[in-house]
Amino acid sequence: MKKSKKRILIAAPVIILAAIFSFYFVFPGIVYKFLVSRERSAAGLIQKSIDINELHIEYLEGGKGDVLVLLHGFGGILSSQPSELSQRLESGEPNPLIVENKKDYDRLIDFVFVKRPSIPGAIKRYFTQEAIHHRPLNQIIFKQIRSADDFIPLEVSLRNSKTKTLILWGDKDRVLHVSGAKILQSVMPNAKSVIMKDVGHVPMLEKPEDSAIIFINFIGKVES
């Protein structure tokens, strides 16, 4: 009797772990969304959405503490040199940031990162599905950026802005040429640019710890 109880006690955690891992591999999107929702809830953020021209756009609102605006995009600056992305598009090559299938997602990862990150297979499948789902919206955004007659670059909109600003850029950014960082800094008196070595388009994802240290140091100086 004691041996059977011991076997049950040993088997129970194994069964629970097997069930958790099975759920993760079968429903990675649910697991990912649950973890993200818990993180947002801790930060006091609420997800909201708006429909524009038959497009469903989601965004976050709320938070705690002082107001901070963090922007990350793929357009808006007239760099002194063309980026690899703009050169590809001008030559008629496919947009490496538009995803139609798994192969396209691998191409996107290689394009925006210098060193490809390690992504669990189940989560990568979910990210690929999301990228494919957002393909129509991304196509519209790129089309508007490239064809807008009233396009006003950021260096014009932000000229003489007194806001204390941190400009974080990867030196091997293939989406936006790194020269854009110095251009923005030159027109904003209180801006500071930091160029991260061997980093691509998304420093906060490629080198999160280094990016966090730079950001925290910047905030510390702003508040002092």
The answer to whether residue 52 is domain-embedded is no
Torsion sign, CA atoms 129, 113, 96, 40: positive
Q: Does residue 56 lie within any of the structural domains? A: no
Alpha helices, DSSP H only, in the chain? 2-26, 28-42, 84-90, 102-112, 121-133, 135-147, 154-157, 179-187, 203-206, 208-223
**How many structural domains does the chain have?**
2
pTM: 0.73
Same structural domain for residues 35 and 145?
no
Instruction: Please indicate, yes or no, whether residues 70 and 161 belong to a single structural domain of this protein.
Output: yes
Look at residue 54 and tell me if it is in a domain: no
Q: Which amino acid is it at 163?
A: T
Same domain? For 162 and 87 the reply is: yes
What is the extent of the structural domain holding 109?
A: 66-223
Q: Are 162 and 202 in a shared domain?
A: yes
User: Digits of tens for pLDDT over the chain (224 positions)?
Assistant: 445 545 555 555 656 655 555 555 556 667 677 777 787 787 788 878 777 666 667 777 777 666 555 555 545 666 678 889 989 988 999 999 999 999 999 999 999 999 998 888 888 988 999 999 989 888 887 877 677 566 677 778 788 888 888 999 999 999 989 998 888 889 889 888 999 999 999 999 999 999 999 988 988 887 77
Whether 61 maps to a domain, the answer reads no
Rg (CA), the chain: 22
Q: Is residue 60 part of a domain?
A: no
